[in-house]
Amino acid sequence: MFGSVRKPGYVKSRAAGPSEISELQVWITSADSECDSYPSLTSDESYELTVDQPNAVLKASKVWGALRGLETFSQLVYEDAYGAKNINSTTISDFPRFAHRGILLDTSRHFLPIKVILANLEAMAMNKFNVFHWHIVDDPSFPYLSRTFPQLSQQGAYHPYTHVYTPADVKMIIEFARLRGIRVIPEFDTPGHTQSWGKGQKDLLTPCYSGTTPSGTFGPVNPILNTTYSFMRQLFSEISSVFPDAYVHLGGDEVDFSCWRSNPDIQNFMEQQGFGQDYSKLESFYIQKLKGYMIWQEVFDNGLKPDTLIHVWKGNQQQYKDEMANITSAGYHTLLSTPWYLNRISYGQDWQGVYRADPQDFKGTEAQKKLVIGGEACLWGEYVDATNLTPRLWPRASAVAERLWSAKEVTDISDAYSRLSMHRCRLVERGIPAEPLFTSFCPHEYKGV
């Protein structure tokens, strides 16, 4: 708020003038502020903000609400014609519409230096996002330095020293996120999307066959070997200790069956199991065993069953709405990403289409709609790295941020344009190179290249 002000020196105590507010008091009302906890899906992010004399007061049950309220307070401050900082008398009562408001970043297609990840966590906090879905490994590279299996990154990373995330790096990112009320959910996507895993872990992937001989290429994780599951158990045990969030994303997308089909051992197994030619049964077999190896220690006591959370990402507009309807009618909790694939760029103000998509916009009962716990804006990395990530993500992701936080009725595009333009200039002033919405200018333009 005051970084740009040239103050001669900080004045420790000074009586407040007649029309001044010189203090913002932050009041955590709950006995357990959760200050040293990690944020979770059920964290209370609500707050009340009263800006009036003698002091402004920010009241929240937990520290998470206070973080959200501080951001809001900072957005109320403006400069008058004299360049002096002002704020208007305001009363705000706020809480998020959806509890899971995330951003997916992909650090496998391109390695993302820590600096970029941290800068984007900053930007997320400015937009009240609360989940960093870290798609950390995939086919092209394995940058996660595992203590249990260091050869995974030794062999699988783009470069074992310069293009890895060490345990210290991961710790730093998790803590940086926590201090901003952001959960870090890692995704270790299997059984597909695992080419880079096979480099450092012999026999993990299925050898593909050309007729009766191995072709030399590899396919998805081999679901019929016991070694596969003992590897997964050890790896996920490490992952669950490194990443404190209650959730891990297991991926499970885009499994190409052709390699499995070509492998005689797998063909035998399919026969033994009575799966016929239906390889999706083999995939289910794998996923069930994976889940089975997770350590179930405690039942989540807020009504959310220890259940599968379905992440909807495919299809066009009508299809994803049908999908949301189907999944919720089957009783599953769901997250929406389909209309928010921000890696899909196009010419013009595409933030508007992003803004209009609503996760509860499908035919279903109230109970069904309650099963939608939020959504995620995804920035897949095929064409994205540190050179262009931040302007590509912001302020387009801000449109998703409002859709997931604000009330369903907040849909006026012109009003949104006005507020978002100013919010964008504020992001720029705070050092985030958020790109312009349209022809315009900011009082303080971005100073980088």
By CB under 8 A, residue 215 contacts its own copies? no
- Residues 371-390 within binding reach of its own copies (CB under 8 A): 381-388, 390
Segment interacting with its own copies (CB under 8 A) among 9-17, 55-63, 212-220, 306-314: 306-314
Task: Give the nearer residue to its own copies in terms of CB position, either 95 or 158.
Answer: 158
Question: Is 28 near its own copies (CB under 8 A)?
Answer: no
Cα distances (Å, whole numbers) of residue 419 to 49, 121, 262: 19, 21, 56
Nearer to its own copies, 48 or 283 (CB): 283
Residue 140 lies near its own copies (rule: CB under 8 A): yes
Cis peptide leading into residue 306 (ω within 30°): no
Q: CA 67, CA 73: separation in Å to the nearest integer? A: 10
Residue among 314, 380, 375 at smallest CA distance from 342: 380
**Residues 409-413: contacts with CB within 8 Å, 24+ apart?**
411/355, 411/356, 413/352, 413/355, 413/356
Is residue 434 within the footprint of its own copies (CB under 8 A)? yes
**Three-class secondary structure of residue 434 per DSSP:** coil
Q: Does 302 bind its own copies (CB under 8 A)?
A: no
| Least distance (Å) between residue 157 CB and its own copies | 9
Catalytic site includes residue 409: no
| Chain residues 341-370 in contact with its own copies, contact rule CB under 8 A | 341, 343-349
Told to check if 160 binds its own copies by CB under 8 A, we report: no
CA distance 192 to 287: 11
Q: Hey, what amino acid is at 56?
A: A
Q: Least distance to its own copies from the beta carbon of 175, Å?
A: 16
Q: Are 70 and 58 in contact (CB under 8 A)?
A: yes
Binders of its own copies among residues 162 to 181 (CB under 8 A) are 162-163
What single DSSP character describes residue 439? Answer: S
- Candidates 88, 30, 25, 87; CA nearest to 57 is 25
Is 292 an interacting residue with respect to its own copies (CB under 8 A)? no
CA separation for the pair 234, 347 (Å, rounded): 46
Which member of 79, 175, 254, 271 is catalytic? 254
Q: Taking CB under 8 A as the rule, does residue 5 contact its own copies?
A: no
Place of tokens 């039942």: 299
Pick the stretch among 9-17, 260-268, 295-303, 412-420 that binds its own copies (CB under 8 A).
Answer: 295-303
Hey, is 160 helix, strand or coil? coil
User: Is 37 an interacting residue with respect to its own copies (CB under 8 A)?
Assistant: yes
- Token pair for 336: 């929406």
CA distances from 402 to 109, 356, 417 (A): 28, 10, 12
| CA–CA distance, 397 with 101 (Å, rounded to integer) | 11
| Interface with its own copies, residue 313, by CB under 8 A | yes
Binding mask 315-344 for its own copies (x = CB under 8 A): xx--xx--x--xx-------x--x--x-xx
What residues between 261 and 290 interact with its own copies by CB under 8 A?
287
Question: Nearer Cβ to its own copies, position 95 or 380?
Answer: 380
Q: Could you say whether residue 6 binds its own copies (CB under 8 A)?
A: no
**Catalytic center residues:** 254
